[in-house]
């Protein structure tokens, strides 16, 4: 008994050593030598050697470290892998573009999915990047309205395609509302990363329905991620009122709300809206927002965005619209024809100037997320492949809009901290520290930048030399690595 107790005590002591630690000088799996290591949480910004063992960071040290593979990183910045909390991308091809943009975790939180367990099961062991999704309020509305049989399931296949559909305009009956909340809760309890709501895409969503959904986020201690009800400069039905609705619901319920892409909802008023949310947050209302670092958005031509009066609401004209399929600016006749036609083409709207985006980037409370989607050939939105390189290249190096450390904080530590109160895995991400997950990016600060454009969106970003997901290199020497799938599921506390 005594011997067994000693052995157990020794085992317990060993178990408390950090991953990879050893009484003798360890030879680590991979060592990056001499990188400029930046960790926004501790404030580290100095030359360091970084060791990785298995799926964890074993050391961030001034001391020379031994590794089975040693990578010269003396010209590179090392940072925690970027966490994109707003990515609609689902394909392997898109993941490769995202990896070349420094992303190690992509989360679909704005719209979400359904059914949750099936979505995660289908991705198990097959993903390049860490992955997770919210449960989709919007999709579940279609599911209920179509009937929960085959027709309802068909409606779920791609909720994005259903936006603007007629049934989206219908209010739910009392019984249907209760059923909706019950199904959303089922998704939350299956481990979904909160609740996603494309509220503007389904105008039938009542004020009471949004309050009930926020109350569910509060009751389950998770978070509501919402594309708010209106994107308009003009009252009634302004983005100001939509932000007020979110503020009121968060304050009334105590629930967490994260407002998606305030830049494309509030246009030139976006910095003011961000400040409103920042001030409310300082008073204990759990509300935050994000921007993407581009002046244009992209939406389906027949969506509610372009219902009559859209020019005044958005503060733009038809000359600010660009066809995704041709890359050309639209004339009124071309726009009218697209709007009346059957094809639901995407349209790029250039609605924000550099000053608006710069103000949002400088606001320390505003996160950055891509809102990217599929990489669709020459005319998609460049944010899908180039959001993070644009931040670091254009806004940090070229215009000096914000510092490198401030920019990295917005795409590593801030998203991790936003989620970690209900997503345990996030406590080990967004940090370049011993014991944290080995999601690491190394990039050349002199060359990092975006090659994707509105006219040619499917182009890899420049400057990312090494990108590591759970200790596995997915970008090695600047090149995508074939045949690796180190991405892991990101669940909430309900399935961890």
Which residues of this chain interact with Zn ion, rule CB under 5 A? Answer: 227, 260
Residue closest to Zn ion (Cβ): 227
Nearer to Zn ion, 273 or 413 (CB): 273
Nearer to Zn ion, 240 or 305 (CB): 305
Nearer to Zn ion, 59 or 265 (CB): 265
CB 422 within 8 A of CB 50: no
d(CA 443, CA 123): 28
Smallest separation (angstroms) from Zn ion to the CB of 138 = 10
Smallest separation (angstroms) from Zn ion to the CB of 439 = 25
Nearer to Zn ion, 334 or 344 (CB): 344
Token digits for 71?
């990578």
| Location of structure tokens 């994109």 | 84
Smallest separation (angstroms) from Zn ion to the CB of 282 = 26
Nearer to Zn ion, 197 or 470 (CB): 197
Nearer to Zn ion, 265 or 473 (CB): 265
Smallest separation (angstroms) from Zn ion to the CB of 294 = 13
CB 204 within 8 A of CB 168: yes
Smallest separation (angstroms) from Zn ion to the CB of 299 = 9
Smallest separation (angstroms) from Zn ion to the CB of 275 = 21
CB 57 within 8 A of CB 435: yes
Smallest separation (angstroms) from Zn ion to the CB of 104 = 23
Nearer to Zn ion, 260 or 280 (CB): 260
Nearer to Zn ion, 260 or 448 (CB): 260
SS3 of the chain: CHHHHHHHHHHHHHHHCCCCCCCCCCEEEEEEEEEEEEECCCCEEEEEEEEEECCEEEEEECCCCEEEEEEECCCCEEEECEEECEECCCCHHHHHHHHCCCEEEEEEEEEEECCHHHHHHHHCCCCCCEEEEEEEHHHHHHHHHHCCCHHHHHHHCCHHHHCCCHHHHCCCCHHHHHHHHHHHHHHHHCCCCCEEEEHHHCCCCCHHHHHHHHHHHHHCCCEEEEECCCCCCCCCCCHHHHHHHHHHHHHHHCCEEEECCHHHHHHHHHHHHHHHHHHHHHCCCCEEEEECCCCEEEEECCCHHHCCCHHHHHCCCHHHEEECCCCCECCHHHHHHHHHCCCCCEEEEECCCHHHHHHHHHCCCCEECCCECCCCHHHCCCHHHHHHHHHHHHHHHHCCCCCHHHHHHHHCHHHHHHHCCCCHHHHHCCCCCCCCECCEEEECCCCCECCCCCCCCCCCCECEEEEEECCEEEEECCEECCCCCCCCECCCHHHC
Nearer to Zn ion, 227 or 374 (CB): 227
Smallest separation (angstroms) from Zn ion to the CB of 336 = 25
CB atoms within 10 A of CB 323: 18
Nearer to Zn ion, 233 or 432 (CB): 233
Smallest separation (angstroms) from Zn ion to the CB of 271 = 19
Token digits for 58?
């074993």
Smallest separation (angstroms) from Zn ion to the CB of 341 = 23
Smallest separation (angstroms) from Zn ion to the CB of 460 = 25
List the one residue out of 243, 298, 251, 293 whose CA is nearest residue 269: 243
Q: Are strands 367-368 and 287-291 parallel, antiparallel or unpaired?
A: parallel
> Vertex 49, ends 44 and 53: CA angle to 5°?
110
Smallest separation (angstroms) from Zn ion to the CB of 152 = 23
Nearer to Zn ion, 190 or 299 (CB): 299
Nearer to Zn ion, 100 or 227 (CB): 227
């Amino acid at each position: 008994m005594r011997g067994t107790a000693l052995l157990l005590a020794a085992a317990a002591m060993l178990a408390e050593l950090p991953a990879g630690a050893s009484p003798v000088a360890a030879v680590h799996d991979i060592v990056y030598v001499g990188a400029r290591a930046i960790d926004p949480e501790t404030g580290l910004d100095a030359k360091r050697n970084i060791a990785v063992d298995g799926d964890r960071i074993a050391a961030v040290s001034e001391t020379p470290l031994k590794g089975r593979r040693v990578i010269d990183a003396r010209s590179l910045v090392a940072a925690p892998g970027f966490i994109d909390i707003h990515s609609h991308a689902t394909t392997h091809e898109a993941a490769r573009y995202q990896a070349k943009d420094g992303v190690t975790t992509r989360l679909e939180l704005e719209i979400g999915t359904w059914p949750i367990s099936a979505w995660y099961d289908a991705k198990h062991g097959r993903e390049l990047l860490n992955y997770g999704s919210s449960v989709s309020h919007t999709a579940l509305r279609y599911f209920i309205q179509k009937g929960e049989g085959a027709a309802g399931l068909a409606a779920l296949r791609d909720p994005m395609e259903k936006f603007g559909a007629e049934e989206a305009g219908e209010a739910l009956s009392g019984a249907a509302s209760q059923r909706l909340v019950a199904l959303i809760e089922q998704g939350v309890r299956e481990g979904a990363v909160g609740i996603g709501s494309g509220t503007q895409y389904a105008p039938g969503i009542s004020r009471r329905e949004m309050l009930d959904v926020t109350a569910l986020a509060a009751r389950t201690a998770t978070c509501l991620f919402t594309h708010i009800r209106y994107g308009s400069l003009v009252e009634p039905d302004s983005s100001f009122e939509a932000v007020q609705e979110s503020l009121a619901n968060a304050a009334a319920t105590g629930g967490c709300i994260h407002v998606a892409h305030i830049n494309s909802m509030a246009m030139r008023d976006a910095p003011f809206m961000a400040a409103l949310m920042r001030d409310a947050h300082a008073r204990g209302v759990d509300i935050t927002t994000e921007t993407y670092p581009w002046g244009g958005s992209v939406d389906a031509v027949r969506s509610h965005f372009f219902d009559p009066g859209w020019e005044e609401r958005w503060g733009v004209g038809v000359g600010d619209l660009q066809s995704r399929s041709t890359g050309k600016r639209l004339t009124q006749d071309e726009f009218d024809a697209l709007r009346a036609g059957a094809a639901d083409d995407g349209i790029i709207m250039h609605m924000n100037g550099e000053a608006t985006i710069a103000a949002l980037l400088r606001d320390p409370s505003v996160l950055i997320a891509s809102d990217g989607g599929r990489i669709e050939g020459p005319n998609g939105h460049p944010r899908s492949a180039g959001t993070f390189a644009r931040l670091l290249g254009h806004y940090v190096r070229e215009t000096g809009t914000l510092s490198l450390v401030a920019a990295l904080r917005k795409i590593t530590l801030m998203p991790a901290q936003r989620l970690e109160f209900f997503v345990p895995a996030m406590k080990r991400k967004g940090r370049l520290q011993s014991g944290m997950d080995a999601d690491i990016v190394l990039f050349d600060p002199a060359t990092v930048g975006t090659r994707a454009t509105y006219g040619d969106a499917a182009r890899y970003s420049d400057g990312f030399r090494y990108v590591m997901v759970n200790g596995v290199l997915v970008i090695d020497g600047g090149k995508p690595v074939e045949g690796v799938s180190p991405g892991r599921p990101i669940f909430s506390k309900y399935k961890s």
